[in-house]
Structure 1
């Protein structure tokens, strides 16, 4: 998947990292909240990128720790990173929201179950919004958080707020 390739190559463009370090950065930056990426897919992806010659590994040992492979970009990886940046940014934007499968099928439920589904979605949006607000607040003055990371958090909050407004109006129309 090109998106996972771009995430991994982008992290390695900044610094050499082990697959474990990449996975920890994905968790810390909450990337899996807006891009479908899992821990196993990161490890698998690093090996695939190495097989393609886009990254190279070096085995390192730090103190009493076990040896680990640390990955860095090759020249081909640098070119692939730039190519993916241009390719993905030029694609039409698609927003996939899993709960839309529920929305398109609401009419097939009795009114009480429709209301329950909408209330659950509304609650989950509020939880997401609260999480994003807390995350933004905790990271807004952290120098290690890049401005682009903060921009994505603000984007996600704006989307959550928009969905919150939309779900409230949908509940009124079904109420």
Structure 2
């Protein structure tokens, strides 16, 4: 399975994004270390999916002097491919990174009942594997298999037992996993989605401006005198403002 394709299509299904945003999400969860999804794979996948019609460019964004970035969204063909990849990943009855990727990136926004059914089918297959492995180890033990073989079988048994138990926990939290807000987002992406959240120099400038406005609207008392006596509160003289309109001049004008 192509892990990068699953990740890219799943993120674009959640909302249109450009490559840098997808890359930041991948870095946030260290996909290059446990799922072999590198930065190069992300951009290569975007180009390939655009070429085969699975995604389409919807707009271009540019921040400051940085190069413009193309924002993509999935097509119907791309959504169909994502659904196929998800079913393949969740049907594999072996501990595999594909299962984690499918759960992390395709569960948010999915139908809880549909996902629950897919996972229960996989759990049943894992449970059968575990039972078969236990019976096999018991036969080998009865035949006098060496302890090294017994420990290898036990390791596989314990992995499968843990996977079965993990499915029970996932099943109990399926509604949370399928909530759209469960999708992973980077802090920068959240700020981009909400322009009201300032950052960097803009945040500091806004904070200074807000503080200055607060001081002008609610002046503080003058500082204490050097001998410790309280200072005299400063006085602010309100502006007289424009004079009220006196109305039109009704005096006659000499001819």
Tell me the TM-score normalised to structure 2 length: 0.36
| SS in structure 2 of the partner of residue 70 of structure 1 | strand
Could you say if the C-alpha distance between residues 145 and 31 of structure 1 is closer, same or farther in structure 2, counting changes exceeding 3 Å?
Answer: farther
Tell me by how many angstroms 1:147 deviates: 7.9
Are 1:59 and 1:67, in contact at CA under 8 Å, matched by a contact in 2?
no
**In the alignment, is residue 9 of structure 1 matched against residue 45 of structure 2?**
no
Task: Provide the C-alpha distance between the structure 2 equivalents of 1:62 and 1:81, rounded to a whole number of angstroms.
Answer: 28
**In the alignment, is residue 57 of structure 1 matched against residue 57 of structure 2?**
yes
**In the alignment, is residue 76 of structure 1 matched against residue 61 of structure 2?**
no
Greater per-residue helix proportion: 1
Task: Give 1:161's aligned residue.
Answer: none
Are 2:16 and 2:73, in contact at CA under 8 Å, matched by a contact in 1?
yes
Could you say if the C-alpha distance between residues 44 and 59 of structure 1 is closer, same or farther in structure 2, counting changes exceeding 3 Å?
Answer: same
Q: Which runs of 5+ in 1 are unaligned?
A: 97-143, 150-175
Tell me the TM-score normalised to structure 1 length: 0.51
Task: Provide the C-alpha distance between the structure 2 equivalents of 1:6 and 1:30, rounded to a whole number of angstroms.
Answer: 16
**Could you report, residue by residue, the CA deviation over 1:87-119 in whole angstroms, capped at 9, with x for unpaired residues?**
1211242559xxxxxxxxxxxxxxxxxxxxxxx
Could you say if the C-alpha distance between residues 61 and 8 of structure 1 is closer, same or farther in structure 2, counting changes exceeding 3 Å?
Answer: closer
Report the count of equivalent residues.
102
**In the alignment, is residue 48 of structure 1 matched against residue 84 of structure 2?**
no
Could you say if the C-alpha distance between residues 61 and 80 of structure 1 is closer, same or farther in structure 2, counting changes exceeding 3 Å?
Answer: same
Task: Provide the C-alpha distance between the structure 2 equivalents of 1:92 and 1:66, rounded to a whole number of angstroms.
Answer: 44
Are 1:17 and 1:71, in contact at CA under 8 Å, matched by a contact in 2?
yes
| SS in structure 2 of the partner of residue 60 of structure 1 | strand
| SS in structure 2 of the partner of residue 93 of structure 1 | coil
Tell me by how many angstroms 1:4 deviates: 1.5
Are 1:58 and 1:71, in contact at CA under 8 Å, matched by a contact in 2?
yes
**In the alignment, is residue 86 of structure 1 matched against residue 87 of structure 2?**
yes
Higher relative contact order (CA 8 A, sep 6+): 1
**In the alignment, is residue 27 of structure 1 matched against residue 63 of structure 2?**
no
| SS in structure 1 of the partner of residue 94 of structure 2 | coil
Task: Provide the C-alpha distance between the structure 2 equivalents of 1:59 and 1:81, rounded to a whole number of angstroms.
Answer: 22
Task: Give 1:146's aligned residue.
Answer: 182
Task: Give 1:111's aligned residue.
Answer: none
Task: Provide the C-alpha distance between the structure 1 equivalents of 2:41 and 2:184, rounded to a whole number of angstroms.
Answer: 24
**Could you report, residue by residue, the CA deviation over 1:50-106 in whole angstroms, capped at 9, with x for unpaired residues?**
11111111341345343211111111111111111001211242559xxxxxxxxxx
